[in-house]
């Protein structure tokens, strides 16, 4: 029912609003010029901002552009820490009028769209912001795609709704760029590794093993030991995003780029991790995520990003493991130890 409603909204919008869309975009096509005219840093709205990438992205952008110039938004209640770090507002991307008011009232220049759904109503918000970033993923590729390496432009054909939605966002943004001149930008990220507790995704074994390994000295992996996937540490991910957003438009030869840092298998990761946890016990029990992983790229070709706008990663596998050991030990082990102590009294 929701899908039919969204499709109908898009159909109505395309038939009735093309002229208004062209006029709105035409008046706002040059982001850098608008910012220079105000002689200020860009005003940035992050939707769906309370997830892993959203909160870390906000920290980076606030550090560079000022706390008040980066507005975090979501439809869930933020933590006290989230409220104290800078402006937060409730924003539902399905509410066109509400989002329209936010973009106008806060004079938004850049919209970074981390919300899970790029809906037909959300598409109508495009004229209001002059630079839009939407993240994509290795999940935008499928079993018919070349896997080693996977080039920037190739057959995609994903077989998960997650991947289909990413391809939809990529093509929709590119359409608006070529049709109306919208400054749309998109990066396809590999598995992104950070110290935050894993969410159960296909690449999250590379996070879970640090938590389980430090707590229990053992981990049961849901992927086969030989399953190679592209990965990157979150600091590299955010640096790529920041660099890409600040690249002059004339340097971009396309609107969607692959970015990555390394590719490894579970076995390779666990071997490196045993340098820090020698008695780590690993077992394997593949589940349905194995089939998903086998349809994704093994090695991501990001040559075009490196050539066009100078992308370069910092972390390889060795540096990643060392950093993750420090991050998880400092951020989460004290909490786990306190919880263990409390449970011992129960």
Residues forming the active site: 162
CA distance 10 to 5: 9
Rounded-to-integer distance, Cα 191 and Cα 236, Å: 12
Residues 90, 74 contacting (CB under 8 angstroms): yes
Rounded to an integer, what distance in angstroms lies between the CA atom of residue 138 and that of residue 144? Answer: 13
Contact between residue 316 and residue 262 where contact means Cβ atoms under 8 Å apart: yes
Of 106, 99, 100, 95, nearest to 71 by C-alpha is 106
CA distances from 39 to 33, 34, 35, 42, 103 (A): 10, 9, 6, 9, 19
- The sign one gets for the Cα dihedral 203, 191, 193, 50 is negative
Token pair belonging to 295: 């349809």
Sheet of strand 183-189, all strands in order from the earlier edge strand to the far edge = 88-90, 70-74, 44-47, 110-113, 131-137, 183-189, 256-258
Nearest-10 crossing angle of helices 266-273, 317-331: 60
Centroid of chain to Cα 27: 29
The residue whose two tokens read 């990003």 is 305
Whole-angstrom Cα distance, residue 87 to residue 302? Answer: 34
């Amino acid at each position: 029912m929701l899908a039919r409603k969204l499709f109908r909204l898009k159909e109505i919008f395309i038939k009735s609003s093309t002229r208004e869309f062209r006029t709105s975009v035409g008046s706002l096509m040059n982001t850098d010029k608008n910012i220079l005219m105000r002689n200020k840093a860009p005003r940035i709205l992050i939707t769906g901002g309370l997830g892993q990438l959203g909160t870390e992205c906000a920290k980076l952008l606030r550090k560079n552009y000022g706390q008040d110039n980066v507005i975090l938004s979501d439809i869930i209640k933020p933590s006290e820490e989230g409220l104290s770090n800078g402006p937060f507002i409730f924003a539902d991307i399905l509410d066109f009028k509400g989002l329209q008011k936010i973009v106008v009232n806060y004079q938004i220049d850049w919209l970074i769209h981390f919300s899970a759904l790029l809906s037909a109503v959300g598409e109508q918000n495009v004229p209001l912001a002059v630079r839009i970033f939407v993240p994509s993923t290795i999940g935008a590729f499928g079993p018919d795609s070349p896997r080693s390496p996977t080039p920037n432009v190739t057959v995609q054909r994903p077989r998960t709704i997650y991947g289909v939605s990413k391809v939809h966002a990529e093509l929709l943004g590119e359409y608006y760029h070529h049709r109306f001149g919208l400054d749309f930008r998109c990066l396809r990220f590999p598995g992104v590794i950070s110290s935050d507790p894993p969410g159960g995704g296909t690449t999250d074994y590379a996070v879970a093993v640090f938590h389980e390994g430090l707590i229990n000295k053992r981990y049961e992996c849901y992927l086969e030991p030989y399953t190679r996937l592209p990965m990157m540490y979150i600091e590299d991910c955010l640096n790529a995003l920041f660099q890409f957003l600040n690249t002059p438009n004339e340097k971009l030869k396309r609107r969607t780029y692959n970015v990555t840092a390394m590719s490894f298998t579970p076995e390779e990761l666990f071997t490196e991790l045993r340098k820090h946890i020698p008695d780590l016990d690993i077992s394997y029990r593949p589940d349905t995520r194995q089939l998903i992983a086998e349809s994704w790229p093994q090695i991501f070709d990001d040559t075009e990003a490196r050539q066009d706008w100078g992308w370069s990663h910092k972390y390889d596998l060795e540096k990643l493991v060392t950093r993750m050991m420090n991050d998880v030990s400092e951020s989460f082990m004290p909490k786990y130890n306190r919880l263990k102590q409390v449970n011992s009294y129960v």
